[in-house]
Structure formats: C-alpha cells, structure tokens
Chain A
C-alpha cells in the first residue's frame, strides 16, 4: 500500500514509513484530546456498519437464498470485501481529504517536510474510529468461515488472507488514483467514493444478482471483481457468471500490482501539477 511512489530507493520508503508513523501518532493523540467525542464516533462507526449487516440478515428471514447464495456465503462476500475496504480505509482513507488541502493551499505545509508527500497525505487526519468498520467486517467474516460449504485445503485457507490483502491493495489504488485526480478537480472525492464505498456495497452481494453488464464493468473496467467475487467463486466452487477461464480467479495479485503501479504514476503526475494558492 505504500507503493504509491514506485521506483524509489529503500531510504525513501523507510523515510515514508517513519513519517507515516509519526503523523498517525500525532492525529491519534489529537483525536484523544476530545476523548468523549472520539469514543462516540468510534462506537457510531461500528454501530452504523453493524446495522448494515443486520439489514442483510433481515432480508434472509424471508428468503433462503439470494441469487443462489446462502446467508453464510453472502456473509463471506460481505466479510471479505469489508475487511479489504476496512484495511484500506483505516490506513489510507484520509487521502480523500487531499482535495480540501489542495483547495485551501494547506498542502504547502506538507510539502515543506522532509518526507514523501504520499506518506504524509495517507496519514493525514488518520482516524482510529475507522477501526469500527474493520472490526465489524472481521466479525462477520469470522462468523461465515466455519459455515460456508468449503473443503478447506492449505491452498484454500491461504486464499482468504491473500484475498484480503489484494483487495485492500486494489482499493488503495482506487483511493490513490482518486486522490491524484483531486490535484486537478478538487471536489472529485465523490467519484472515488462511488468506486470504493459504493463498490464495497456491491461486492457484499453475490455477482449473480447484478446485471451482466455491471459485472463485466467491475471485471474489466474498474476491476473490483478481483477484490472478492472471483476468488470467492473459486473457493465456493461456483461457476463464474461471465464464463471466464478458471485461471482468471487467481489474477488478483497481478491486477492489484498493475493498479497500484498505475495509481502511483497518476499520483506523481498529479503532484507535479500542484499549483498551490494565491498567497
């Protein structure tokens, strides 16, 4: 996820991680300066996400299967997508606030520090309350794992963490590319949100309930299907609604790497075009 500035030497990456850690600490301590507010936000974040899953459970009180998927299977999709997005949201989510910093020129302050801007922006306004989303997704995923009809081999067990990491990287690339776009269009955060949070809302449900065109779009255009749909279909032994060859299910890491590289280049291009404000 820290691959936003590709091709840099080890010293620079270390510099980035150090800056990231230091800035995260400052924001966490800033948040704790308003302790009550922090606790309420953290609880609210958790509760809002929990209700989200309750809605799915309520849906299943009336039906047995959704698009051919049982409740544990849908919970598995929900959990994997949620963990991926939760990780990215926690570690990198604040990058969507870049637009505001570009607009009011406070990005200048970050540009004066001896650390990669990407690391600083990723850590900017780090919000520990986002643990709420991640915690809830981990709980749902943990609940689903023993209940889905999977013959657990070593390969299949390893697939679960791999999915989470690749999914997080794919979301990270979307976040980064979206942030890079904000160097030009400072109000573009909503566009990227529709792919991240919106994409997540879609990935929680089986691909079989969506129109084929939409599934095609998130496979080939913005390849969010690699976050959990394709690897999950393989795990659950289900046919791919698009009828793609079987090896496509394992392309997650490749897709993630390509997307991160592209996002890194976009970031660089964006940073160079930064114009600051009048004074």
Chain B
C-alpha cells in the first residue's frame, strides 16, 4: 500500500524506537522492586509527505507514548527518529558506546530542548483530551498567541485563520471565552490552533473522542480538506474505526509496544479474520433467516436478527438476498470493533517476529 510511494521523501522516519519506563512496585512490606516496562518496544516505520495514517491499538498499547516521542514531549530510550529532518532529542537513545561517555546525562543531551523547539515550529498537535486553548479568554486570543509565539507572518496568519474559520464554522465562536464552548466546538477550535503556523505534520490523539455524530463528521471533513489542500501529513490515533475508514488509506496497529500490522484497512480485516454483523429488522418476529450464502444467523430477538459474515465480504449481496425473501423494514451493518480485531490479530500473528512481516501477509487490495 505504501510501496507505491516509496520514492517520495519520508517526512517521518522511525527506526527501532523504544521507550522503557522503570516502575517501582511494592513487594512485601518495605521492599520495593524496580521493574522495567517497555511501553514502546522497537517500532520502525516511515511516513511519506502528504499521507494520512491511522495509528490504532488497545488502551495501553503504546500509542500515546509513540506520539509523545514523535512530538518531542518524551525522550526515547532507544532507537532513532526524524521528523522533517529534525531529531528532537539528539544523543538520546543510541547505544552507550556511541555516546559521549564522559559527559553526564544532563550535559550530553543538553540541546534537546532546543531541538524540541525547532521541531515544534514544524508540527501541529491536537490531543482530544487536553486543550491548548486559553480557558478564560476568547477563542481569538489563543490564536493571537499562536501567531506571536510561532512568529507567523501576518499574511499567512490571516489566510490560514480565514480558511479554518470557514471550514470549521468558527466565526461565531471567535469572541466567546473557551470555557463556554461545547466539547465539539472546542475541538474545532483546537484543530484551527494547531494549523495556523502551517505545520508539515499534524498529530491527532483521539480527535473525535466524546464528540457527537455531527461534530465528528465536521472534524473528519476538515481533516480531509486540509490534507488534500495543503498536503499536510496526518497521523491520528483513534478508537473509532469510522475515523480510519473515512480518512486513512494506511493503518498501523500497535499492541504491547510492537507494531503488529502496517497496511491497508481491508488487509487489517482480512488479517484479523474478523466478522461483520448485518442487523436486520423484519416486519414481524420470524424464525431465524436461512439460506443466505456466506452468512449465518447468530441471534434472534423478536423481529430483529443478527447475521454474521466475513469482514472481507461485501454486504450488498446479503442485503439483496434478505430483502428478496423477507419483509425487511430496516437494517444496519456493524463493523467488528478495533479492540476485537486487534485481539484476534495479535493472538493469531504472534509467530511473526515483528509487525511489518505480519502486515505484509495481510495485504489485501
């Protein structure tokens, strides 16, 4: 899936990235043992300019830790990473013999905050659960701060703000103090704030969490627009499979700190071997539906019935088959949720040593 663009310059380069936390844990009354937790355990990937990538995985898999290293918030324990040619913490994470062994740690990596600030000018970040906006001030003021702190040229700022205001319907919100905005409005406000300085990469950590359907659609539409219009590279983590379906051609799945899949979404379904569910509402309670090829009825509750079918298969012929023989009132298709998919993927793909090889097998286009 990504191979076709292999010639393009990779904007994000990650090689064997690791993050190890040492945790003290109680063992007995006074004794405490140090334990190493590998939150990110040797991840490698490349993202070419202009791509939109979904980064998914169960809670605690290491998604946020990865994003935090990519933004310079956290210093990696091992491996290398470059974003737009910048390593936010040079000198960190190499093997000991590569380091300037004579200098103590805080001198060796002394310029990390400088590199981090360099990187900060090139990236935009939105945390769904954490706002960068100023709570007590009008939304407009937060944007003014971005303009001055990132030293955005006036013309660029005006053009970017105008475009964001138009695409996100922000005009009526600009004079409103942020504390009075709804969650969806604030998310839109945060998105604009992250884009005013023309970042090359946009990181989104669960951008649609807690939003209603309308707000979600607005956010997705905006992201698609930004990606198409400016070629902004987007890396987003989410628990909402619809986000991925509507935005990303490429998905990376992480579990237990390792990449277990990297490829297209369809391939992920095939690799996970998951099933989708067709939920049909009939006119009246009937015996379980039979004779629909490729599907089996798994549950009946009054007039409502659930039919499971392989995730890779199209739902259209099924619907046609049911509608032709039963009094169909309503229907919906349920996707297997990401957690289930990944659980299956991980259980099945344990033999493969890293995610990349597991991902290649799952390629199905």
Residue of B nearest to A5 (CB): B113
Q: Quick check: is A22 within 8 A (CB to CB) of the other chain?
A: yes
The SS class assigned to the B binding surface is: mixed
Q: Quick check: is B302 within 8 A (CB to CB) of the other chain?
A: no
* B106 touching A108, Cβ below 8 Å: no
Nearest-CB distance from A118 to chain B (Å)?
8
* A113 touching B120, Cβ below 8 Å: yes
Which of chain A's residues have a CB closer than 8 A to the CB of B73?
Answer: 108, 111-112, 274, 276
Which of chain A's residues have a CB closer than 8 A to the CB of B68?
Answer: 108, 276
* B64 touching A106, Cβ below 8 Å: no
Nearest-CB distance from A18 to chain B (Å)?
7
Query: In whole angstroms, how far apart are the Cα atoms of A276 and B60 in the complex?
Result: 14
Nearest-CB distance from B279 to chain A (Å)?
32
CB < 8 Å: which of B105, B134, B150 contacts A272?
B105
Per-residue 0/1 for B112-144: is the Cβ within 8 Å of any A Cβ (1 yes, 0 no)?
111011101101010101101011110001000
Q: Quick check: is B299 within 8 A (CB to CB) of the other chain?
A: no
Nearest-CB distance from A199 to chain B (Å)?
26
Q: Residues of B within 8 Å of A, CB-based: how many?
A: 40
Q: Quick check: is B71 within 8 A (CB to CB) of the other chain?
A: yes
Residue of A nearest to B150 (CB): A114
Q: Quick check: is A271 within 8 A (CB to CB) of the other chain?
A: yes
Task: Find residues 172-210 in chain A having any chain B CB closer than 8 Å to their own CB.
Answer: none
Query: In whole angstroms, how far apart are the Cα atoms of A117 and B115 in the complex?
Result: 12
Q: Residues of A within 8 Å of B, CB-based: how many?
A: 35
Q: Quick check: is B148 within 8 A (CB to CB) of the other chain?
A: yes
Query: In whole angstroms, how far apart are the Cα atoms of A33 and B72 in the complex?
Result: 33
- Asked if A278 meets B137 with Cβ closer than 8 Å, knowing A5-B113, A108-B68, A272-B105, the reply is no
Nearest-CB distance from A128 to chain B (Å)?
14
Residue of A nearest to B205 (CB): A279
* B106 touching A265, Cβ below 8 Å: yes
* B74 touching A272, Cβ below 8 Å: no
Which of chain B's residues have a CB closer than 8 A to the CB of A216?
Answer: none
Query: In whole angstroms, how far apart are the Cα atoms of A108 and B70 in the complex?
Result: 13
Q: Which 9 A-B pairs have the closest CB atoms?
A: A114-B120, A269-B106, A30-B136, A33-B136, A111-B73, A114-B117, A114-B121, A268-B106, A112-B125
List residues of B whose CB falls within 8 A of some A CB.
21, 59-60, 64-65, 68, 71-75, 105-106, 109-110, 112-114, 116-118, 120-121, 123, 125, 127, 129-130, 132, 134-137, 141, 145, 148-150, 177, 205
19 further interface pairs, Cβ-Cβ under 8 Å (given A30-B134, A116-B117): A7-B110, A19-B149, A22-B145, A29-B137, A30-B135, A30-B136, A33-B136, A106-B130, A109-B127, A111-B73, A112-B71, A114-B149, A116-B113, A268-B110, A268-B113, A278-B60, A278-B64, A279-B59, A279-B205
